[in-house]
Homo-oligomer: A and B are copies of this chain.
Amino acid sequence: MTDSHQVFEIADFPLDSGDTLAPARLAYQTYGTLNAAKSNAIVYPTAFADQHPDNEWLIGQGRALDPDRYFIIVPNLFGNGLSSSPSNTPAPHDRARFPRVSFADNVRAQHRLVTEHFGIERLCLVTGWSMAASQTYQWAISYPDMVERALPFCGAPRVSQHAFLFFEGVKAALTADAAWRGGDYDTPPETGLRAFGRGYAAWGFSQAFYWQERYRDLGFDSLGEFLTGFWEQNFLGRDANDLIAMLSTGQHSDPAATPAFGGDLTRALGAIRARLISMPAEKDLYFPPEDEQWAATHIRGAEVRVIPGIWGHLAGRGINPADVAVIDDTLRELLATPVD
């Protein structure tokens, strides 16, 4: 495990919003070695509020994402504090003035890293959790001839109206704190960050998870300790503008928002050529399996494999061994599936 990383810099990077990041800095980490044929590359982006070390639970010797076999590139989501973000970008794009970045922007930058920097023309696999599932779909839609396999988990090609509202709710909680000051805080809005974590708590895991008090599996002896020690703590160290920039990416991205697809998500999904398995979690409260069942009907050959159990959205976070096993097994099966 490491938190060192490299940075791929793009001098002028035009965004879907019309703004330009000059430069855009894409932070990434790699695991394993690119083979001579450049045929063993995997892209595995980061999710909301995560950084590349948060992805490492799924990578390792003996796992499907085995660095002895594959060259695994983990690009950091714009806004996450390592890639270009409100917290690390100078004026005029600092803080709340950081431009809106879409998943398509993220994937376009990742594509440049993969092709220009590494010279890779095909990807064995793109995979990712939650907002990285959206990036996985975006990869398969934007570069259909390049992505051989895709395994989005606990996410969706486009954030639903319901998930939009959940994001909006925690955003409203954070920004209700006057210390937020429209993003121009000098002292972090601690009350708002705590409210953000408290508002997130009931969404992250399922009703049954709490009924069974499974937070005890994570070392917490009471609901109150879990609320402060896990949920508040998870966000207290984050930059508020960064959190809101990433939420905004999730809320406003649409892979169908191009002239080719004319806003029709089914047409965007129809462009996918990758062998795709979507893995929603059975009791995910904001990316429910039914939405992924719908998406799969518009992707040729796509399958949905539900992650069973009660861990809800965080089934994809690598903290429950049974969920890790089912994701790892499915990745192994997908990677073993021949493609054209």
Contact = CB atoms under 8 A, between A and B. Distances in A.
B202 A286 contact: yes
Interface in A153-191: 160-166, 168-179, 191
A191 B176 contact: yes
Describe A's contact surface by its main secondary structure.
helix
Given A169-B199, A169-B202, A170-B199, A210 B160 contact: yes
Given A160-B211, A208-B290, A165 B201 contact: yes
A162 B211 contact: yes
Interface in A223-237: 223, 227
Nearest to A208: B290
A198 interface: yes
A194 interface: yes
A207 B291 contact: yes
A175 B198 CA distance: 12
Interface string A8-34: 000000000000000000000000000
Contacts of A162: 202, 206-207, 209-211
Contact of A169 (B160, B200, B285): B200
A213 interface: yes
Contacts of A290: 207-208
Interface string A192-220: 10110011111100111111010000000
Given A165-B210, A172-B173, 16 more contacts: A160-B210, A160-B211, A161-B213, A162-B211, A165-B201, A165-B223, A169-B195, A169-B200, A171-B198, A172-B194, A172-B199, A174-B176, A176-B192, A207-B288, A207-B291, A208-B290
